[in-house]
Amino acid sequence: MTPHPRRRPAVFISAGESSGDHHGAAVAREIRRKLPEARLFGIGGAEMDAAGVSRIAGLDELSVMGGTEVLRRLPGFLRLERRIRRLFVTEEVRLFLPIDYPGLNLRLARSARRGGRRVLYYIAPQVWAWRERRARKLRRDCDRVLTVLPFEAPLLERYGVRTEFVGHPLLDGPRPPGDGAGARAAAQRRTSGARRVIGLFPGSRAQEVRCMLPVFADAARRLSRRHPDLDFVVARPSHLPESLYAAAGFPTAGAREVTERSRAALTKSGTITLELALAGVPMVVGYRMGRLEWTIGRRLVRVPSIVLVNLVAEAPIVPEFLQDRLTAERAAEALEALLGEEAPERREMLRGFGVVRERLGKPGCAARVARHAIDLLESPGGPGAPC
């Protein structure tokens, strides 16, 4: 007898940013492959749609940067949370699978846990950098927490969080990163022409682009005057309008294309630094935020670097310029040092990237996450049940 559709296991996947949408889609495909009868709901983007996730909200409803914008959009966030909590009940969701994005996802994890649902947190909030009190919430509200950076699991375990390092999802890409054939071919393309491409990666949120792109573009123009053979291309995510980039005066392309073409890059901090490192693209990192957010943030940050590449390598291999230290002159000078094929700064950075690649684990991250999800779906009990 065919089971009633409402009794088929339901999973809610919550991704608040474009990278989370990509990683959530990969996990959704693996869950469907291993458990075809599963019903998948979530918040995310086009990739999760294509993976068969019934989406109740899009990334445009969630994309914010800084406390002031969060306050302005708080009523909409609260309405969305209420919709999700109702769906937890009406669709008999058994597993909540949040992906990073802690502002919303930690609150939803608390609600899911109180309702007797299992919670599998994928890509743990960066408690090591900001708020260690979030570790206590993870211990209280999550059955398991899956980390993608090697140093996170031991830290969370000290707080009593049930956790496991599953490797980094960037290693599951369509072509082998790092020293694979795809990276070698891309490196050959970067050096085969008469002109050299420098990639500019100002961010995936409109506020980040408005804040970072003017200084990135100024640095590019300074460097172009000294090196006329350079071309500059700006990475633009598909959900942001071309008009946002017009004032910079440089062409745009998707982040993957820009990465493949770039000899070096000027980028914001974040996961993009790992993507560039795995592709063998030397970089300079710059970041700015609102004055209030910066004042608060610098009192909370407890790590020696905001660059994930440096944290994974446990060494300052990538130069970073934050807030007032991010100037066009400094960024251009640091980039210039990376242009020569035999430049010592470039060679040393590329050696460091090899260390990063080794420490990020092995491919197969999405499949490992799906195995944890199915294990929790099939295990008995709710909060406090043994895993």
Q: Order of strands, edge to edge, in the sheet holding 320-322? A: 252-253, 230-235, 196-201, 262-267, 283-287, 320-322
Q: What is the pLDDT of residues 263-321, one digit of tens each?
A: 999 999 989 999 999 999 999 999 987 665 655 455 555 666 889 999 999 999 999 99
**Burial level of 165, CB count in 10 A (0-12/13-18/19+)?**
buried
Domain 181-359 belongs to what architecture?
A: 3-Layer(aba) Sandwich (3.40)
| Dist CA 213 CA 119 (whole Å) | 38
Q: What share of the chain is helix, strand, coil (3-state, %, to 5)?
A: 50, 15, 35
Please check whether residue 139 is in contact with residue 129, taking contact to mean a CB–CB distance below 8 angstroms.
no
Which residue type is seen at 38? A
| C-alpha R_g of the chain | 21
Length of the chain as a residue count: 387
- What three-state secondary structure class fits 68? helix
| Dist CA 209 CA 289 (whole Å) | 11
**pTM score of the predicted model:** 0.82
First to last CA, the chain: 30
Of 72-86, 244-258, 332-346, the range with the lowest mean pLDDT is: 72-86
270 or 130, which is more confident: 270
What mean pLDDT is reported for the chain? 87
Shared fold status for 5-172+363-378 and 181-359: yes
Q: What pLDDT is attached to residue 387?
A: 39
| Dist CA 182 CA 200 (whole Å) | 21
Give domain limits for the chain: 5-172+363-378, 181-359
CATH 3.40.50.2000 is right for the domain spanning 5-172+363-378:
yes
